[in-house]
Amino acid sequence: MDNLIIFDTTLRDGEQSPGASMTKEEKIRIAKALEKMRVDVIEAGFPMASQGDFEAVHAVAGAVKDSTVCGLARAMEADIARAAEALKPAASSRIHTFIATSPVHMEKKLKMHPDQVVEHAVKAVKYARQFTDNVEFSPEDAGRSEIDFLCRIIEAVIDAGAGTINIPDTVGYKMPERFGKVIHTLIERIPNADKAIFSVHCHNDLGLAVANSLSAVMNGARQVECTINGLGERAGNAALEEVVMAVRTRQDVFPCQTNIDTTQIVNCSRLVSSITGFPVQPNKAIVGANAFAHESGIHQDGVLKHRQTYEIMRAEDVGWHTNRMVLGKHSGRNAFRAHLSSLGIEFESEEEVNMAFSRFKDLADKKHEIYDEDLQALVSDTLSHENEQIKLVSIKAVCETGERPQAKITLSVNGEEQVGESDGSGAVDATFKAIEKVVNSNTHLLVYSVNNVTNGTDSQGEVGVRLEKGGHIVNGQGSDTDIVVASAKAYLNALNKIMTPVERKHPQV
């Protein structure tokens, strides 16, 4: 059977979700998880966007050995040279260059004639081939481009050396049947189409990203660009887990298969969720908490008699399991490290191991049973709060029926302890106001969300906070068995990000 190449762009397009910017270290953690899942191509970022993005792509290129690492570049020599420099450490690299091809983009954004667009595209591909023989070209907004012009520019860039042609539905506009026909038409009409792999990159503005991607596969596309949990700007991208499991489950329909180790899907989903602060909705396909849950008596009876009555795939195949961690508060560092390694969690330094192990010991004192989900949250919380300027020292929150809640918080601000006190409509509100008495950040709270990491009243709470200041949006996250403490951690995590913003430019600006 044909191989369907899985191209993950969580670290690039997924990061363009407002508030989802990741540090270099966080990108490396996700890249290693993607590599363990056997993703074929990892798009690590847009090196020209900022120095931070360049360094992150460079670091991922050096850390990943088994997957191809890709860098995005506009059809400009400066962008391409920058991407090539960032990708130097990669064992296998790809340069992904693009230019808009829809009439509205060419006229209103690029202010270029079609002939000029073709010229720029061909020149960019030829220049990229000086650095690598693995070059991908995307006609941006192909979903709204004229088919004759697409045929013309794609034929030209294949002749110039592009080995992968990506057809993006940039604004999520196409319908599945029509999008599939576009792919079929391009492959059929372009004389040199057999010299390139056709790919698709679909956005989810109308909730059709996965459907459009699968329709394209049925019509000859052999690469799908997607993200973990469907993360991405606006309504997001095609969800990797849904594309992969659809192809795997319906082998009677799809004439291809992937190399993905599907048992790593849930772990990777949790990792991306905890790092970005974007929780996974319970009814999300494949990775949602309810994806394999049955409450209806009829369904439960059927599953007990024969699993396939109501389940088309096994929970274990995507990484769901009920294994409890056998470690306890008397366990040693080696056992702790080994168990985390089995979950795909690796540490960069011994200091990180010690920090996480100390947090584990504290959690073991509070919580009798520790699950793998607890460890994912614990490690993410430990690493995301490392090297922060503002740190939580202590907190006291008092709630009493008939009385207004009070909070007193002690923070370490650049090594100096400061105290803030406030009341509020609830313990969390009072805590946030107490923090602001110290920090006075002038930020706006956009989102506050709470999710339980596991079941039970002793479960860790995972809190997500989204703050905005001057148009800059960040997410913060924190976890603890005490939800007020978790809330304080999340708020401080977001404050630290917004007070030391990373300059990033959208690749289409």
Q: pLDDT value at position 309? A: 61
Residues 298 and 416 in one domain: no
CATH number of the structural domain spanning residue 56 = 3.20.20.70
Q: pLDDT value at position 345? A: 76
Residues 312 and 434 in one domain: no
Residues 59 and 202 in one domain: yes
Residues 239 and 338 in one domain: no
Residues 216 and 311 in one domain: no
Residues 380 and 398 in one domain: no
Q: pLDDT value at position 294? A: 46
Tens of pLDDT, residues 337-385: 877 777 767 777 788 888 888 888 888 787 767 777 777 777 777 776 6
Residues 227 and 314 in one domain: no
DSSP state of 501: P
* Residue 408 domain-assigned (yes or no): yes
Residues 451 and 368 in one domain: no
Tell whether the torsion through CA atoms of 362, 365, 366 and 369 is positive or negative.
positive
Q: pLDDT value at position 239? A: 98
Residues 114 and 260 in one domain: yes
Taking alpha carbons only, the member of 24, 128, 126, 122 closest to residue 82 is 128
* Residue 46 domain-assigned (yes or no): yes
Burial letters 218-240, b for 16+ CB under 10 A, else e: bbbbbbbbbbbbbbbbeebbbbb
Q: Are 295 and 341 in contact (CB under 8 A)?
A: no
428 Cβ neighbours under 8 A, 6+ residues apart: 448, 483, 484, 487
Q: Distance (Å, rounded) from C-alpha 432 to C-alpha 420?
A: 10
Tell whether the torsion through CA atoms of 49, 53, 55 and 61 is positive or negative.
negative
Residues 141 and 202 in one domain: yes
* Residue 326 domain-assigned (yes or no): no
Per-residue CA distances from 132 to 71, 95, 290 (Å): 12, 7, 44
* Residue 282 domain-assigned (yes or no): no
* Residue 484 domain-assigned (yes or no): yes
Give pLDDT tens digits along the chain (509 positions). Answer: 799 999 999 999 999 888 888 889 889 999 999 999 999 999 999 999 999 999 999 999 999 999 999 999 999 999 999 999 999 999 999 999 999 999 999 999 999 999 999 999 999 999 999 999 999 999 999 999 999 999 999 999 999 999 999 999 999 999 999 999 999 999 999 999 999 999 999 999 999 999 999 999 999 999 999 999 999 989 999 999 999 999 999 999 999 999 999 999 998 998 898 888 888 888 899 988 777 764 445 444 554 554 566 567 788 888 776 444 556 666 777 778 877 777 767 777 788 888 888 888 888 787 767 777 777 777 777 776 677 889 999 999 999 999 999 999 999 999 999 999 999 999 999 999 999 999 999 999 999 988 877 777 777 888 989 999 988 888 888 888 899 999 999 999 999 988 876 656 655 55
Burial class for 177, CB neighbours closer than 10 Å (0-12, 13-18, 19+): exposed
* Residue 109 domain-assigned (yes or no): yes
Tokens of 67: 């997957």
Residues 438 and 479 in one domain: yes
The total of structural domains in the chain comes to: 4
Q: Are 309 and 55 in contact (CB under 8 A)?
A: no
* Residue 493 domain-assigned (yes or no): yes
Q: Distance (Å, rounded) from C-alpha 86 to C-alpha 278?
A: 28
Q: Write out the residue range of the structural domain in which residue 97 sits.
A: 2-276
Q: pLDDT value at position 508? A: 52
* Residue 62 domain-assigned (yes or no): yes
Q: pLDDT value at position 296? A: 45
CATH number of the structural domain spanning residue 432 = 3.30.160.270
Residues 234 and 356 in one domain: no
- Does this model's pTM top 0.75? My answer is yes
Tens of pLDDT, residues 45-61: 999 999 999 999 999 99
Q: pLDDT value at position 473? A: 87
425 Cβ neighbours under 8 A, 6+ residues apart: 405
Q: Distance (Å, rounded) from C-alpha 437 to C-alpha 421?
A: 7
Taking alpha carbons only, the member of 437, 457, 458, 432 closest to residue 447 is 432
Tokens of 249: 């489950």
